């Protein structure tokens, strides 16, 4: 619960920062940083989200339990995404040519000549 009335100046400063970050993320997308494009974009997104949560949503002035709720939700989402991805990206760790791997339709490492479902290539 917010017992604090925040200054208008604070809200406008956060707003300004968010706009700057948006311009930054859009601008950097037009520069070739290779794989770091993604990293930078996500870091900026996290910064923006943090600003919104801390100041617009008043988390800075909330009890600890609220932080636990947010952290728990994000942590469990990380578990879902992390373990699911670890399944798909370790499917090919078995020996080459084994039925297990050939049976796996979705694998980042499909052999040439694999008997897995052939995807039609229109392009």
Partner 1 sequence: MPTDRRRPTLADAPFGAVPVAHQFDDFEQQTTADTFGMWLFLATEVLFFGGLFCGYSLYRNLYFDAFTAGSHLLKVKYGAFYTVLLICSSLTMALGVRSAQLRRRTALTVYLILTWIMGFAFVFIKLRYEWYGDYLEGLAPGVHWAPSSESMEMIRHFHATVPHVGLFFIFYFCMTGLHALHMIVGVGLLTTLLIFTRQGRVTGGNYNWVEIVGLYWHFVDIVWIFLFPLLYLIGGRYV
Partner 2 sequence: MSTVAVEVTPTMPEVHYLNADYGWRSWLFTTDHKRIAWLYLFAITGFFAVGGLMATLMRLNLIEPQGALMEPASYNKLFTAHGLIMIFFFLAPSIPTVLGNFLIPIMIGARDVAFPKLNLLSWYIFMLAGSVFMLAVIRGGVDTGWTLYTPLSTTYANGHVLSAAVGIFISGFSSILTGLNFMVTIHKMRAPGMTWFRLPLFIWSLYATSVIFILAMPVIAITLALIALERVFHVGIFDPALGGDPILFQHLFWFFGHPEVYILILPSMGVVSELVAAGCRKRIFGYSFVAFSSVAIAAISFMVWGHHMFLTGQSVYAGFVFSALSFAVAIPSAIKVFNWTATMHKASVSYDTPMLYAIGFIGLFTIGGLTGLFLASLGTDVHLHDTYFVVAHFHYVMVGGAIMGYLGGLHLWWPKMTGKLYPEAWARFACLLVFAGFNLTFGPQFILGYLGMPRRYAVYPPEFQVLNVMSSAGASILAVGYFIPLVYFTWSAFKGPIAGPNPWGAKGLEWTIPSPPPTNNFEETPIVTQEAYAYGPEEAHVG
> Which residues would be at the binding site for partner 1 (CB under 8 A)?
1-8, 11-12, 14-15, 18-19, 22, 25-26, 29-33, 37-38, 41-42, 44-45, 48-49, 52-53, 55-58, 62-63, 65-66, 69-70, 72-74, 76-77, 80-81, 84-85, 88-89, 106, 108, 119-123
From the list partner 1, partner 2, none, partner contacted by residue 105 (C-beta under 5 to 8 A by kind):
partner 2
From the list partner 2, partner 1, none, partner contacted by residue 104 (C-beta under 5 to 8 A by kind):
partner 2
What is the pattern of x (binds partner 2, CB under 8 A) and - over residues 5-44?
----------------------------------------
Distances (CA, A) of 110 to 82, 90, 97, 113, 117: 22, 12, 10, 9, 11
């Amino acid at each position: 619960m917010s017992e604090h009335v925040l200054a208008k100046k604070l809200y406008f400063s956060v707003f300004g920062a968010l706009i700057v970050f948006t311009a930054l993320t859009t601008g950097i997308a037009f520069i070739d940083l290779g794989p770091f494009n993604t990293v930078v974009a996500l870091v900026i997104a996290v910064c923006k989200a943090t600003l919104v949560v801390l100041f617009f949503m008043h988390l800075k002035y909330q009890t600890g339990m609220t932080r636990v709720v947010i952290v728990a939700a994000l942590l469990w989402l990380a578990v879902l995404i992390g373990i699911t991805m670890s399944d798909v990206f370790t499917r090919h760790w078995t020996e080459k040519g084994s039925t297990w791997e050939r049976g796996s339709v979705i694998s980042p490492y499909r052999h040439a000549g694999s008997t897995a479902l052939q995807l039609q290539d229109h392009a």
